[in-house]
């Protein structure tokens, strides 16, 4: 069955008759379930996708086994790798889609499963919904997902490979979320529209969340009418890709004629030209030196080619909030590695969808480096008087702490060169502890394997207690282990637990671990800092940079990475960004697992033990 397709327009309608959905960047697919042995996932071009994504089939089999499944059932949707609730990792999905080896496909499906995001219902048992209006189809789709106990909105923290795309009434609200999470776009759908088989319809209108750049044409490929484009990186011309679409026939004729009249070199079908024709290009994202879906927007007759710089390109590509003015983006921050202030801010922007949920409502302590590591640094707890209006604060003990609750605040802090973010173990206005964290601190980086050994022992111990644990590098020389907690636990409760675990390690491995606070008495052993987990204490936030000479990142890890090959110096900002794209975030289920942690059993055991 050929799918209904939306019409691309620069703006979305805002009348009452329209509802809105997030447009996700993935593989369009129609999922049909007739029986356990008859399940298909048909692509837009009529190809079968299910063998590429066996986790979807396994999820359907589980539903068929456990529930009264409403077969036959046909769903219209998108196969995606979710980065956040509003954005995806399309490049990594393409890698999955090109795989042919069944064993490798199964390994990837287990490591990072895809999600089928259903946004429409076409068939329910013996009843076709194709001719029913959009709202009826959407209501029935929700009813089915409630019946099957499936997620009613997309989230990478949900383990289900079947999730639902909800509808929105407020266009401004959904568009802002898509922009902040760097999603693909939004689709407007008429409430009374039917599902039109194989038709590109104006009853569905999509708007893409374009990025834009200023650049100049460097060459014409006469074989395919593609224009190569670039920007200045110092005195060097850096290629950023090529474009074909967007020019009118007359515009294309004039540009081609101008290039052929003024070319500087011709190689085969390529006509090269010195920088002169400046243009603005819309595109979806920038990956491995190429713009994705580039479209000509307009000529920039008043912009000189020298103004089309790589620094400006990077700033525009980051889609930074307009409310934050970035000052001195060229400032160098470190001695031994090359990183500018703009590089640091771009890193914060890219990890924002992982960082912000973790930092939300937590009173923040920053370490600021106004001159990079070339000058003095200082701790900052009080929010400066000159902070913008979007910065939320929380007062406690006479200190007006910053709450990093939005993207604008995160980028503003980055512009203030707050390189390190330290957060407490509870949220503002809450009395209970959010999580337990163990800080494993070896004497030096050369002793890092002591932290690895301790972490593996603790993981086995926590697994035996059925406690879900997470691990990250400290960004310096150690590891930190997290156990998210259900609501209601006090510092006294968590203190019992952390002290018990620390003493367990020291008692059973006295040559390797110690709880001795004086460094001179540790004698080369790893310090298990259980006292650091307490009221008023803080820990470095996940994905925070550290102000050490290598600019390392406090990086969440997958547990299978904690082995003899692990070393903290590997985790620079470039490595961390690639990890997130390729592997996702190891802390993505941090909040989800809280309610299922059997922590009360552990506390009851420890309290009874202390009475004996």
Separation of alpha carbons 17 and 34, rounded Å:
34
Torsion, Cα 30 32 36 37, to 10 degrees, reads -80
Residue 354 in any domain: the answer is yes
* Mean pLDDT on 357-371: 96
Domain ranges, residue 386:
341-423
Residue 337 has pLDDT above 70, yes or no: yes
Residues 165 and 29 in one domain: yes
Residue 245: pLDDT band with limits 50, 70, 90: very high
Residue 347 in any domain: the answer is yes
- Per-residue pLDDT of 35-75, as tens digits, reads 999 999 999 999 999 999 999 999 999 999 987 889 999 99
In three-state form (DSSP H/G/I as H, E/B as E, the rest C), the secondary structure along 280-308 is EEEECEEECCEEECCEEEEECCCCCHHHC
Structural domain ending residue among the three candidates 208, 234, 261: 208
Contact 123, 77 (CB under 8 A): no
Residues 52 and 134 in one domain: yes
Residues 398 and 307 in one domain: no
Q: Verify whether residue 23 is a known catalytic residue.
A: yes
Residue 324 in any domain: the answer is no
Structural domain ending residue among the three candidates 391, 423, 455: 423
Candidate list 2, 23, 189, 523, residue with the active-site label: 23
Residues 80 and 225 in one domain: no
Q: What rounded mean pLDDT belongs to the chain? A: 95
Separation of alpha carbons 410 and 356, rounded Å:
8
336 vs 325: which has the higher pLDDT:
325
Residues 184 and 58 in one domain: yes
Residue 328 in any domain: the answer is no
Q: What is the CA 126 to chain-centroid distance, rounded?
A: 40
CATH of the domain at 534: 3.90.920.10
Specify the pLDDT at position 1.
86
200-208 and 5-8 beta bridge pairing:
parallel
What is the DSSP annotation of 301-367? TTS-GGG-BHHHHHHHHTT--TTS----TT-B--SSS--BHHHHHHHHHHHHHHHHHHHTTPEEEEE
Structural domain ending residue among the three candidates 162, 177, 208: 208
Residue 209 has pLDDT above 80, yes or no: yes
Specify the pLDDT at position 336.
87
Residues 165 and 236 in one domain: no
* Mean pLDDT on 373-398: 95
Specify the pLDDT at position 612.
62
Specify the pLDDT at position 72.
95
Separation of alpha carbons 24 and 233, rounded Å:
33
| The two three-digit tokens of residue 144, written as one number | 């089915």
Residues 94 and 9 in one domain: yes
- Per-residue pLDDT of 482-536, as tens digits, reads 999 999 999 999 999 999 999 999 999 999 999 888 888 888 899 998 888 999 9
Specify the pLDDT at position 66.
84
Separation of alpha carbons 348 and 337, rounded Å:
18
Residues 46 and 156 in one domain: yes
When divided into structural domains, the chain yields a total of 4
Residues 63 and 110 in one domain: yes
* Mean pLDDT on 288-295: 92
Residues 304 and 201 in one domain: no
Nearest to 554 by CA among 534, 571, 574, 537: 571
CATH of the domain at 92: 3.30.470.30
Total length of the chain: 612
* Mean pLDDT on 249-268: 95
Residues 150 and 256 in one domain: no
Contact 281, 210 (CB under 8 A): no
- Per-residue pLDDT of 417-441, as tens digits, reads 999 999 999 999 898 999 999 999 9
Residue 412 in any domain: the answer is yes
Residues 458 and 593 in one domain: yes
Residue 319 in any domain: the answer is no
Q: What is the CA 517 to chain-centroid distance, rounded?
A: 38
Which 8-state DSSP code applies to residue 445? G
Residue 296 has pLDDT above 70, yes or no: yes
Backbone dihedral region of 91: left (phi > 0), alpha (psi from -120 to 50 degrees) or beta? alpha
Sign of CA dihedral 389, 395, 401, 407: negative
Nearest to 174 by CA among 364, 367, 19: 19
CATH of the domain at 220: 2.40.50.140
- Per-residue pLDDT of 115-163, as tens digits, reads 999 999 999 999 999 999 999 999 999 999 999 999 999 999 998 999 9
Residue 326 in any domain: the answer is no
Specify the pLDDT at position 521.
87
**Sequence-ordered list of residues with C-beta below 8 angstroms from that of 573, at least 6 positions apart, any chain:** 339, 343, 344, 347, 545, 551, 553
Specify the pLDDT at position 127.
96
């Amino acid at each position: 069955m050929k799918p209904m397709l939306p019409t691309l327009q620069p703006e979305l309608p805002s009348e009452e008759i329209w509802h809105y959905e997030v447009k996700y960047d993935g593989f369009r697919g129609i999922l049909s379930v007739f029986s356990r042995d008859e399940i298909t996932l048909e692509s837009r071009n009529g190809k079968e996708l299910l063998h590429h994504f066996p986790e979807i089939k396994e999820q359907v089999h589980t539903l068929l086994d456990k529930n009264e499944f409403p077969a036959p059932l046909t769903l219209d949707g998108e196969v995606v790798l979710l980065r956040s609730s509003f954005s995806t990792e399309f490049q990594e999905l393409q890698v999955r889609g090109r795989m042919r080896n069944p064993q490798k496909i199964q390994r990837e499906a287990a490591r990072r499963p895809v999600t089928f995001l259903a946004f429409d219902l076409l068939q329910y048992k013996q009843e076709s919904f194709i001719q029913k209006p959009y709202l009826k189809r959407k209501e029935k789709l929700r009813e089915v997902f409630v019946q099957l106990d499936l997620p009613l909105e997309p989230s990478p923290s949900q383990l289900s490979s079947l999730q639902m795309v909800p509808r929105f009434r407020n266009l401004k609200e959904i568009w802002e979320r898509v922009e902040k999470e760097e999603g693909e776009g939004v689709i407007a759908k008429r409430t009374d529209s039917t599902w039109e088989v194989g038709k590109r319809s104006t009853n569905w209108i999509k708007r893409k969340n374009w990025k834009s750049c200023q650049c100049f044409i460097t060459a014409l490929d006469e074989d395919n009418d593609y224009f190569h484009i670039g920007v200045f990186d110092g005195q060097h011309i850096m290629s950023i890709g090529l474009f074909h679409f967007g020019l009118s026939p007359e515009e294309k004729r004039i540009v081609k004629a101008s290039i052929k009249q003024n070319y500087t070199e011709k190689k085969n079908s390529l006509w090269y030209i010195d920088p002169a024709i400046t243009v603005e290009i819309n595109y979806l994202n920038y990956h491995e030196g190429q713009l994705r879906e580039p479209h000509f927007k307009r000529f920039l007759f008043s912009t000189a080619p020298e103004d089309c710089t790589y620094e400006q390109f990077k700033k525009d590509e980051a889609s930074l909030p307009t409310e934050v003015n970035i000052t001195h983006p060229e400032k160098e921050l470190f001695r031994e590695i090359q990183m500018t202030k703009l590089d640091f801010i771009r890193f914060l922007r890219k990890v924002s969808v992982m960082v912000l949920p973790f930092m939300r409502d937590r009173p923040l302590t920053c370490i600021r480096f106004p001159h990079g590591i070339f000058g003095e640094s200082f701790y900052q707890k009080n929010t400066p008087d000159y902070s913008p209006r979007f910065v939320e604060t929380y007062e406690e003990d006479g200190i007006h702490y910053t709450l990093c609750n939005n993207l604008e605040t995160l980028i503003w802090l980055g512009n203030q060169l707050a390189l390190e973010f330290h957060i407490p173990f509870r949220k503002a206005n809450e009395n209970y502890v959010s999580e337990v964290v163990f800080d494993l601190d070896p004497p030096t980086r050369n002793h890092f394997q002591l932290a690895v050994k301790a972490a593996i022992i603790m993981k086995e111990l926590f697994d035996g207690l059925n406690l879900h644990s997470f691990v990250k590098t400290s960004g310096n020389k150690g590891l930190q282990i997290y156990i998210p907690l259900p609501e209601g636990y006090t510092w006294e409760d968590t203190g019992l637990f952390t002290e018990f675990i620390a003493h367990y390690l020291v008692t059973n491995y006295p040559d390797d671990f110690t709880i001795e606070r004086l460094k001179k008495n540790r004698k080369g052993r790893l310090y298990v800092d259980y006292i650091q987990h307490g009221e008023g204490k803080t820990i470095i936030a996940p994905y925070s940079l550290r102000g050490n000479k290598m600019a390392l990142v406090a990086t969440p890890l997958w547990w299978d990475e904690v082995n003899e090959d692990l070393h903290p110096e590997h985790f620079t900002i470039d490595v961390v960004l690639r990890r997130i794209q390729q592997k996702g975030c190891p802390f993505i289920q941090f909040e989800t697992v809280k309610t299922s942690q059997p922590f009360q059993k552990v506390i009851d055991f420890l309290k009874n033990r202390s009475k004996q």
